[in-house]
Every structure is written in structure tokens, then in C-alpha cells.
Amino acid sequence: MNEALTKLAVEVGAFLHARHWTLATAESCTGGLVAAAITEVAGSSGWFDSACVTYSNEAKIRMLGVASDTLKNHGAVSEATVREMLAGVLTRSGADVAVALSGIAGPSGGTQDKPVGTVWMAWGTSTAQHVHHAVFPGNRAAVREAAARFVLEAILRLK
């Protein structure tokens, strides 16, 4: 595991533990990288609830309740989809805080509108959600790591 991600996960754990909050993740392009960084931390069972890796559209629908119309009309890599992924993981897990990510890590799959490196990310609680779009540079590993790092840092900004 990347040492920088593990260090960040330690900070997230301390942040969540101090607030008596639990975390759940819904990951697509990162394939569980956020959850892996978190569970690398000893004691994470005290603040980490669960993870869903919903790589296919069917899994997003089945496991997180993403509407098929959302996927049809906006695509898997969209603000609408990550918002529904976040809502689904918050509802289904019962965690206090959650993150959701969907993107195109590459090296193929990009389009002019959604180039390789495009990632939509959502994070928050049942009462306050945040969404961010980024196009991260680099190869597949770099895109996945940058997205994981972004959402872990975003958790630390929650009130």
C-alpha cells in the first residue's frame, strides 16, 4: 500500500474516531483502493463500516440503488451517478460518513467529453453532501491514487 495513502487514512481514522463517526465507501474506478488504505490502519474496525466496489452499472443499480435512467441519461461517470452512489451507500450502510467515486482511470475508455483521468467524487453525511469533478493526470495507477487521496482529504474537511 502507498505510504502516503496509509498516512492519510490514519489521519482520517483519528478524525472520525474523535467524532464517533463511521465511514463507508462506494468505489468504482478506484476498485476498493480507498477501503484498502483505510483497512491498512490498525484499529480501523472502530470507525470503518463497509465498502462496496460497484464496477459495473448493474452493480451500481443492485447494490447502491442508482437509477437505471441516471446511468442511461448521464453515464456512470457523472455527477448524478456519484450523488446516487453516495445516497445509496449512506442509506444501505448506516454509516455516518461516506464517499463515492466513479471515473475513467485508463488507459482506454476516455472520450472527448470524458477523457482518461476524469473522476467524479462525492462525500458527506446524510445532511450535507459535496461533489467534485477532476481530471487527474498520469497513468491508471496515478489516477486511482489521486482520486483516493482527494476523497480522504475531503473527509478531513467535513464539519
Q: Among candidates 114, 78, 101, 81, which has minimal Cα distance to 151?
A: 101
Q: At 10, is the secondary structure helix, strand, or coil?
A: helix
Question: Is the per-residue pLDDT at 93 higher than 80?
Answer: yes
In this structure, what CATH number is given to the domain that contains residue 42?
Answer: 3.90.950.20
Q: How many domains does the chain have?
A: 1
What's the Rg (C-alpha) of the chain?
Answer: 14
- Model confidence pLDDT, tens digit, residues 42-54: 999 999 999 999 9
Q: Cα–Cα distance between 153 and 6 in angstroms, integer?
A: 12
The pLDDT of 56-66, averaged and rounded, is: 98
- Model confidence pLDDT, tens digit, residues 68-81: 999 999 999 999 99
> What's the domain range around 148?
3-155
User: Taking the CA of residue 32 as centre, how many other CA atoms within 13 Å lie in the half-sphere pointing to its CB?
Assistant: 10
Cα pseudo-dihedral 66, 71, 73, 75, rounded to 10:
130
Q: Cα–Cα distance between 6 and 89 in angstroms, integer?
A: 23
Question: Is the per-residue pLDDT at 1 higher than 80?
Answer: no
Q: Cα–Cα distance between 39 and 159 in angstroms, integer?
A: 23
